[in-house]
């Protein structure tokens, strides 16, 4: 397979076609490969570059390659897939798009909104004088990949804080699993946000303020009481802090004040087997 003298060819005219031809695949193979390449790149281009458009046309257009890209996990929203809608119609469109793009690459890392803070799940159960608390993910969970998974689970539920239907579904799934797993009849499921400190708070002279785990940084996003009735799980909303479902709130330095009435129980928690270590309500 002669490849010719490259340096000589560089200054001369274009090399004869015959010298190159053997190194490329046959014409038929080239045709097939180029066709497949074109289809694949076209699908990717639609999925990638119609990220922000929320018109009905874009929804229809996006649905064309979704069947191909979704199983490949390439049909992704590159941020959190969460954008503000200004009208009911736009909101409805946006909701469909979110459902198609239920997969999120989260490559924005942070937009400074409430949902970009750390979220975690608490499940409190047991009699009043002997409450047990499970925290997911527990503080210090290793390796980091495990912690990220549970944080994303909490994020997914916390994102539904403004939607009574969705948060009930999520609460029923998670609370039901925990009730079954712990073999208890009732408990309280919470999703909490741990607000990120501002620079001023991190450099303050007060230890309570500089401690990022201080409970004053916590906000209850979702709180449900779950109980087992026969074979089904019934969940009842207890309270809910300010909705975060808009996803476009101010940066954390301007984040809403923590709802002081929504603090978690102060009762000392205990370890529960198979669901990781436990710490007191995310506090110190």
d(CA 214, CA 146): 23
Q: Cis bond leading into 46, ω under 30°?
A: no
Residue 129 beta carbon to another protein: minimum distance, rounded to whole angstroms: 28
- Binding to another protein by CB under 8 A, coded x per residue (else -) over 215-244, reads ------------------------------
At residue 52, what are phi and psi to the nearest 5 degrees? -105, -20
Binder among 78, 234, 277, 283 for another protein (CB under 8 A) = 78
Question: Residues binding another protein: what is the number (CB under 8 A)?
Answer: 102
Closest CA to 175 of 190, 156, 158: 190
Q: Does 68 bind another protein (CB under 8 A)?
A: no
CB 153, min distance to another protein, A: 6
> Which pair of structure tokens corresponds to residue 238?
């207890």
Say how far apart CA 127 and CA 260 lie, in whole Å.
24
In the chain, which ranges are continuous DSSP H helix?
A: 6-11, 17-20, 27-49, 56-69, 88-100, 144-158, 164-182, 199-202, 207-210
Min CB(165)–another protein separation in Å: 7
The minimum distance between CB 231 and another protein, in angstroms, equals: 13
Q: Of 146 and 270, which has the nearer Cβ to another protein? A: 146
Determine, following the binding rule CB under 8 A, whether residue 53 of this chain makes contact with another protein: no
CA 92 – CA 275 distance, rounded (Å): 37
Edge-to-edge, what's the strand order for the sheet holding 232-239?
A: 132-136, 118-125, 186-194, 218-229, 232-239
In angstroms, what is the minimal distance from the CB of 204 to another protein?
Answer: 10
Q: Determine, following the binding rule CB under 8 A, whether residue 209 of this chain makes contact with another protein.
A: no
Subset of 110-169 contacting another protein (CB under 8 A): 110-113, 116-118, 139-140, 143-149, 151-153, 156, 159-160, 162-163, 165-166, 169
From candidates 10, 18, 109, 129, binder to another protein by CB under 8 A: 109
Q: Would you count residue 23 as binding another protein (CB under 8 A)?
A: yes
Q: By CB under 8 A, is residue 284 in contact with another protein?
A: no
Please, which residue, 107 or 130, has the CB nearer to another protein? 107
Does 170 contact another protein by CB under 8 A? yes
Q: Quick one: which H or E segment has residue 237?
A: strand 232-239
Binders of another protein in range 258-277 (CB under 8 A): 274-275
Of the residues 19, 84, 130, 185, which one makes contact with another protein according to CB under 8 A? 84
Select from 19, 39, 53, 91 the one that contacts another protein (CB under 8 A): 91
Which pair of structure tokens corresponds to residue 114?
A: 């409430």
Q: Checking phi first, is residue 81 left (phi over 0); if not, alpha (psi -120 to 50) or beta?
A: left
* 3-state secondary structure (DSSP) of residue 249: coil
């Amino acid at each position: 397979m002669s490849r010719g003298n490259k340096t000589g060819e560089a200054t001369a005219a274009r090399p004869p076609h015959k010298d190159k031809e053997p190194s490329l695949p046959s014409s038929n193979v080239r045709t097939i490969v180029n066709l497949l390449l074109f289809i694949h790149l076209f699908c990717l281009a639609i999925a990638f570059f119609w990220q922000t458009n929320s018109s009905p046309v874009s929804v229809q257009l996006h649905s064309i390659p979704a069947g191909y890209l979704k199983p490949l996990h390439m049909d992704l929203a590159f941020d959190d897939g969460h954008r503000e809608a200004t009208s009911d119609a736009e909101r409805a469109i946006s909701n469909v798009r979110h459902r198609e793009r239920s997969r999120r690459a989260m490559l924005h890392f942070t937009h400074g909104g409430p949902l970009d803070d750390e979220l975690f799940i608490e499940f409190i159960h047991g009699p009043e004088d002997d409450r047990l608390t499970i925290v997911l993910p527990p503080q210090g969970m290793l390796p980091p990949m495990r912690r990220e998974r549970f944080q994303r689970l909490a994020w997914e539920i916390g994102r539904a804080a403004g939607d009574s239907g969705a948060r009930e579904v999520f609460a029923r799934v998670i609370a039901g699993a925990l009730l079954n797993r712990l073999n208890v009849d009732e408990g309280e499921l919470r999703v909490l946000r741990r607000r990120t400190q501002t620079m001023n708070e991190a450099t303050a002279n007060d230890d309570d303020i500089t401690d990022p785990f201080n409970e004053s940084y916590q906000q209850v996003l979702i709180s449900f009481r779950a109980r087992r009735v026969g074979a089904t799980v019934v969940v009842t909303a207890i309270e809910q802090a300010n909705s975060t479902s808009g996803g476009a709130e101010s940066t954390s330095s301007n984040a809403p004040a923590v709802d002081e009435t929504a603090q978690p129980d102060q009762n000392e928690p205990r370890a529960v087997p198979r669901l990781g270590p436990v710490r007191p309500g995310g506090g110190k």
